[in-house]
Amino acid sequence: MDILKSFSLEGKVALVTGASYGIGYGIASAFAAAGAKIVFNDIKQELVDKGMAAYKADGIDAKGYVCDVTDENAVNEMVKKIEEEVGVIDILVNNAGIIKRIPMCEMTAEQFRQVIDIDLNGPFIVSKAVIPSMIKKGHGKIINICSMMSELGRETVSAYAAAKGGLKMLTRNICAEYGDKNIQCNGIGPGYIATPQTAPLREKQADGSRHPFDQFICSRTPAGRWLDPSELGAPALFLASDASNAVNGHILYVDGGILAYIGKQPS
């Protein structure tokens, strides 16, 4: 057996939702390096255009679609177009998501539902759209971008934690329901990643000191730093490739060791 060949995605079609930048872009770039054809979506044309420009600059031939992952009809239409224009989707990464950092008693039910809709209903809708063709083709890989909040709670993220906890269990249920169809559904739980969304939490304060949250995260992470989006690429590649055919219903935490660490004793 050629072990390295089992990691190849040559000729595979990979849909990474919300992959104009950040974590999704890092994962899609790794897939492209392994030979996959990349398709992605975002909610606005300007974001799709931004993503297309970035992929082109990196020498990646990607195709972008404007689509809201919470709109079932739009998702079905997008998947149909992808199948017609590129090919049947072999790999789905449910990456699109949002977070609202609002104390629970200050959060409206509408705000809570919005997070649940994008972060949990969206992966359900997109997975449901691609699974039938995966079954017909005889194989498929689904990777859900979960979170450490799939396991832990923290102040101000009640909706996000609820959604990501649900996504962990949706991952396991897809495994249970479609494992016998040669479909593997796993999750990745990123730690704290240096993306545009987290940039304000890493900015120097007016007095030159580090942001308190930046200090907190680095002290709670055995690696002692924020992770780079590119560091999710290889773990995602493993879960997208034939190398992980016997791995199903698993959440792979790529967190620099946070979940294994109780934290430093106060001095």
**This prediction's pTM:** 0.95
Q: Are 164 and 149 in contact (CB under 8 A)?
A: yes
Q: What's the confidence (pLDDT) of residue 262?
A: 85
Q: Which of 160, 178, 192, 253 is catalytic?
A: 160
Q: What's the confidence (pLDDT) of residue 267?
A: 65
Q: What's the confidence (pLDDT) of residue 1?
A: 61
pLDDT < 50 regions, the chain: none
Q: Which long-range contacts (C-beta less than 8 Å, at least 24 apart) are formed by 244-249? A: 244/141, 244/184, 244/186, 245/182, 245/184, 247/184, 247/186, 248/175, 248/179, 248/184, 248/185, 248/186, 249/171, 249/172, 249/174, 249/175, 249/176, 249/179, 249/185, 249/186
| Alpha-carbon distance values, 194 to 96, 139, 166, 217, 230 (Å) | 17, 33, 25, 11, 10
Residue 178: active-site member = no
Q: What's the confidence (pLDDT) of residue 266?
A: 67
Q: What's the confidence (pLDDT) of residue 208?
A: 86
Q: What's the confidence (pLDDT) of residue 165?
A: 98
Q: What's the confidence (pLDDT) of residue 195?
A: 85
